[in-house]
């Protein structure tokens, strides 16, 4: 799978997770794992560069806060631009997967 597709998929997973609420990095990985019934595991080496890239693009913002265990953690939140981008990515994803489904069903 091309790197751009993988990166776009990770962006979708992160943005969709943050659309459900503010979370720190570990919380994002757990939410993705739980929502995918333990099928999608996002490693730290992929997650944190993606978070920095999304933050640089203005799609998410971050703030240092105390975590549930009273440790300092960086919490991420979707911005207005992030919500707009998420809607666009979701639309493209649904179109793309529908085309692939149609192709696979073609006899």
Q: What is the pLDDT of residues 24-53, one digit of tens each?
A: 999 999 999 999 999 999 999 999 999 999
Is CATH 1.10.1740.110 correct for 3-105?
no
Query: What CA–CA distance (Å, rounded) separates 50 from 2?
Result: 16
Q: To which H or E segment does residue 24 belong?
A: strand 23-24
Question: Which residues, in sequence order, are CB contacts of 107 under 8 Å at separation 6+?
Answer: none
- Phi then psi for 25, rounded to 5 degrees? -55, -50
Task: Please check the confidence at residue 21 and state whether its pLDDT lies above 60.
Answer: yes
């Amino acid at each position: 799978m091309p790197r751009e597709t993988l990166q776009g998929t990770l962006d979708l997973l992160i943005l969709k997770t943050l659309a459900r609420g503010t979370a720190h990095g570990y919380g994002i990985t757990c939410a993705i794992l739980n929502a995918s019934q333990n099928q999608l595991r996002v490693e730290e080496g992929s997650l944190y560069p993606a978070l920095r890239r999304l933050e640089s693009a203005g799609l998410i913002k971050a703030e240092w806060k105390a975590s549930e265990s009273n440790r300092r953690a960086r919490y991420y939140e979707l911005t207005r631009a992030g919500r707009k981008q998420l809607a666009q990515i979701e639309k493209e994803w649904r179109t793309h997967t529908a085309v692939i489904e149609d192709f696979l069903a073609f006899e």
